[in-house]
A and B are shown apart, each in its own frame.
Chain A
């Protein structure tokens, strides 16, 4: 079967208190994640109060998505068909543990709806979709480790079938203060080849 050749338009990393875009460092913060991500929010003038209601995983994914989509000049006013395909190792465990704590003690049993709603990994896809008005394909996968192979095939399938024009794809993981985001935009145009090898190299 002949397949279209897709490209990677840009990519974004967030880890070790640093945010980089297409390999170049664009922000360096400090402190625990909560402090760091707030510094990033202020630095990039995100101006989106809902951000502070998000759990750690959503903050991480949202920040990476926001940096990348802004760079790609995606705007909520001009609708684009961009699928979101994310993956990670820890699912929503960081928030799951918080919810579990709130119900563990029967004498202090106060589960919080604002915590519970984030006990699903795909909520972070919803957060990006809401901000950018993306009414598009969504999938969240859990892998033992970053799996460029499956992500490559799955993104290609979404583009081949015409279900989306572009795919925002990658890895967003948050587990006990360890966090890492690597996301990239697969498109028809861009500086990088969309292949398993190239995704591995950029990662």
Chain B
């Protein structure tokens, strides 16, 4: 059985242009969420973490772009460029490219966008990233709601295990747009306050934006020092409702079971869960039920939504990256916003940054369409 690793990585966020900036702030329990009052985005104020556009542009200019790029393309390219550079890989036909996004350049559909509406086709986004760096293989765009980012890691591993690629670069990202905000608002899912995953006083989601990129590889040469082995992965459907999470947590339960089985682990061997935790009433409750059924009531768990909000197609990958840094630093990060348990089953929400010897972690995500995904990672033996 061949090993597959999650290695070099980058996070572009409101905190800066590398993973380190995000990790340091999370470790210090600093949130990137702020109140935004911009009627052009949403008629009422909302909490979000936005990537500063001006700063992005100036960082992007250093890559010598030869044409105009959308803001999403800029953050994806800036993020991915850093990962490609660190990997020192030649982009030949053994190197794949996965783009993970829910809505891509959806903002070009707006009448005030200077870009052609065709830019909204996700295949176009794939081609733009492919040709910017000169990837030799055709890009694979994954658009599977809020599990896209973590599912992309599973997909990369699967293509590698089929012998199709030796290395796969994943770039993930979604913007905070009027399109997305209005939709979640119509669902009455946006929180008027900072989001509080799993908390008694939780009142919904904050939507944020990041771009996250990473290398998935079968080669153990030149791995990042925080690299982790990908032990098992799965995605399962709730078969229940297209927007309402399952009352029994069935899909999530099955996804974790399936990932554990591939990893050859039992639930007690998971040291930490990086959960989804959107802070909606139903999602968090569903997760608690699933983890309870899995016998993971005592496993330390956090949601990182309190730092950046829900970052949609990037969230799963970004949170997996934070998880690998958490393992590397042997530190459990606080589940920001949490005060008092507000779900019906016991779960062990991390309430302060805690040093802890960590070897394995589970990353989960759930989304519209009833989809759930789980991936298990393990620290490399030194």
Contact = CB atoms under 8 A, between A and B. Distances in A.
Tell whether any CB of A sits under 8 Å from a CB of B in the complex: yes
A132 B238 CA distance: 11
A183 B368 CA distance: 22
B178 to A, nearest CB: 6
B158 A161 contact: yes
Interface stretch (B6-14, B180-188, B323-331): B180-188
Interface stretch (A11-19, A66-74, A135-143): A135-143
Interface in A140-193: 140-144, 147, 150, 153-154, 156-158, 160-161, 163
Contact of A157 (B121, B162, B235, B251): B162
Interface in B306-335: none
Interface stretch (A20-28, A33-41, A109-117): A109-117
A121 interface: yes
B371 A130 contact: no
B159 to A, nearest CB: 6
Given A127-B242, A138-B371, A141-B140, A163 B234 contact: yes
Contacts of B86: none
A119 interface: yes
Contacts of B262: 161, 163
- B: contact size bracket: 35 or more
Given A96-B106, A135-B250, A163-B234, A109 B182 contact: yes
Interface in B158-194: 158-159, 161-164, 178-179, 182-187
A103 B237 contact: no
A141 B258 contact: no
A84 B144 CA distance: 12
Given A104-B110, A123-B242, 17 more contacts: A89-B121, A91-B104, A100-B110, A111-B182, A113-B183, A113-B243, A120-B144, A122-B369, A125-B371, A126-B368, A129-B238, A129-B370, A130-B241, A135-B238, A139-B155, A143-B123, A154-B155
B368 A123 contact: yes
Contact of A123 (B120, B159, B186, B369): B369
Contacts of B348: none
Contacts of A122: 143-145, 367-369, 371
Given A125-B369, A126-B369, A135 B239 contact: yes
A138 B143 CA distance: 11
Interface string A80-96: 00001000011101001
A77 to B, nearest CB: 13
B254 interface: yes
Contact of B187 (A104, A116, A160): A116
A99 interface: yes
A117 to B, nearest CB: 5
Q: Which 7 A-B pairs have the closest CB atoms?
A: A126-B369, A116-B183, A142-B141, A157-B158, A142-B122, A129-B237, A144-B123
Interface of B: 39, 43, 102-104, 106, 109-111, 120-123, 126-127, 138, 140-145, 151, 155, 158-159, 161-164, 178-179, 182-187, 234-243, 250-251, 254, 258, 262, 367-371
12 contacts: A99-B183, A100-B110, A106-B39, A116-B183, A116-B184, A130-B239, A135-B237, A142-B121, A142-B142, A143-B138, A157-B159, A163-B234
Nearest to A92: B143
A143 B161 CA distance: 21
Nearest to B371: A138
A116 B142 CA distance: 19
B369 A90 contact: no
Given A112-B186, A117-B242, A1 B163 contact: yes
- Looking at A100, A104, A123, A154, the one whose CB has the most chain B CB atoms below 10 A away is A100
A133 interface: yes
A105 to B, nearest CB: 10
- Looking at B161, B179, B183, B258, the one whose CB has the most chain A CB atoms below 10 A away is B183
